[in-house]
Homo-oligomer: A and B are copies of this chain.
């Protein structure tokens, strides 16, 4: 496979803590329901899974936000639950509701029946990666992704979303041995899945530990972070001679940045509860430092463009001026602290993206850190 050369490498350079003339920005769930053109494609596809499993539709919606906004990266349009679906759990999305699995994993027999799925069952994802990469024509890099082993386990045990995580935690506290077996299978599956995305054309990969933050201190390290490590240790370091940056985002994980400081990855995602300046001092500098990604509250996008500008400046200033050194500098990738809301006015996203570019150029000239 060969693709057109990359024209905007700001995101990849920031991941590697190399100098950039502005702070790159992309938005979690940037291809989504807040865009009328997304809703139109989704209506054609008939269902969420119809959209995600169709290469042409997945390509179309991945590129939609790039047409509207000066984003510095694109991310594969897919769902975090494709892997357990490929394990045979039967994923579906009812209209207006979250994901549901036909089969839940709640006992020893169900865990014993699980195995790393045949990656051929996920061919539709890898085909979409290649198709999107071609369609991008080198405009911006393409990020591949997966849910973390723990986050997948939450859905597999609960059978869908949850507000108290009672089933998965009862399982974890009652049968830690089974939970560890489940998490090993998930970790090895996620690693194979992300490696296949890299082989298909993904230029960076991100692990979403969306539910790591619901764990107790101690259990986070044992049941989530340890398996994120297991994934990272198996990932391709480079592809076609180019480094593939690895990003990890734990929603609600701000208290555990210390524990993440030696993760074998390039960037850590942060939610809005974290002070970027403090996080930078803790894990964002030096030879083992990480690039930091985040972390504006998505609800800022419901304010006026003027107020969005003020809040963007606060986040940019909170990180401070990036180091303009290679490999051991300090760098920031602007993002939301969570996926964009479906109710977001699309024009407000322009205000945010433009403010990031403007303020981050300003701080490179005048800002001190």
Interface size class of A (residues with CB under 8 A): 35 or more
Whether A304 sits at the interface, judged by CB under 8 Å, is yes
Note all chain B residues with C-beta closer than 8 A to A216: 272-273, 296-297, 337
Contact for A217 among B275, B299, B303, B341, CB less than 8 A: B275
User: Once bound together, how far apart are the Cα atoms of A311 and B172, in whole Å?
Assistant: 12
Contact of A170 among B218, B252, B299 (CB under 8 A): B299
A93 CB–B CB distance under 8 Å: no
- How many subunits of this chain does the assembly comprise? 2
Q: Closest CB-CB distance, A170 to chain B, in whole Å?
A: 4
Q: Measured between alpha carbons, how far is A252 from B341 in the docked complex, in Å?
A: 21
A121 at the interface (CB under 8 A from B): no
Decide if A302 touches B255 in the complex (CB within 8 Å). Answer: no
Residue of B nearest to A176 (CB): B307
- Residue A300 is within 8 A (CB to CB) of chain B in the complex: yes
- Using known A-B contacts A216-B272, A217-B272, A297-B216, determine if residue A303 contacts B255 with beta carbons closer than 8 Å: no
A67 within 8 A of B: no
Write out the residue numbers on chain B whose beta carbons fall within 8 Å of the beta carbon of A220: 273
Contacts of A311 in B (CB 8 A): 173
Of chain B, the residue at the smallest CB distance from A253 is B273
Residues 192-220 of A contacting B (Cβ, < 8 Å) = 213, 215-220
| Interchain CB contact under 8 A, A307 and B173 | yes
Docked-complex contact A299 and B255, CB < 8 angstroms: no
- Kindly provide the distance from the CB of A211 to the nearest chain B CB, expressed in whole angstroms: 12
Pick from B164, B166, B217, B343: contact of A166, CB below 8 A. B343
B303 touches A173 (CB 8 A): yes
Is A274 an interface residue when CB atoms closer than 8 A count as contact? yes
User: What sequence of 0s and 1s flags, for each residue 140-169 of chain A, a beta carbon within 8 Å of any chain B beta carbon?
Assistant: 000000000000000000000001111001
Contacting residues, chain B, for A219 (C-beta < 8 A): 297
In the complex, what residue of chain B is closest to A164 when comparing beta carbons? B341
Known: A216-B297, A254-B255, A314-B218. A302 touches B272 (CB 8 A): no
CB < 8 Å neighbour of A273 from B164, B252, B272, B343: B252
Q: Are B273 and A169 in contact (CB under 8 A)?
A: no
A221 CB → nearest B CB, Å = 10
Q: Is A174 on the interface with B (CB-CB < 8 A)? A: yes
Selected from B173, B297, B318, the residue in CB contact (under 8 A) with A169 is B297
| One of B166, B302, B314 near A341 (C-beta < 8 A) | B166
Given contacts A213-B273, A216-B273, A218-B314, contact A302 B252 (CB under 8 A): no
Question: Which A272-325 residues have a C-beta within 8 angstroms of B?
Answer: 272-275, 296-297, 299-300, 302-304, 307, 311, 314, 318
Chain A interface residues (CB < 8 Å from chain B): 163-166, 169-170, 173-174, 213, 215-220, 252, 254-255, 272-275, 296-297, 299-300, 302-304, 307, 311, 314, 318, 337, 341, 343
Q: Give 20 A-B contacts (CB < 8 Å), ordered by A residue.
A: A166-B299, A166-B341, A166-B343, A170-B302, A170-B303, A173-B299, A173-B300, A173-B303, A213-B273, A216-B296, A216-B337, A217-B274, A218-B275, A218-B318, A219-B297, A220-B273, A252-B252, A252-B273, A254-B255, A255-B274
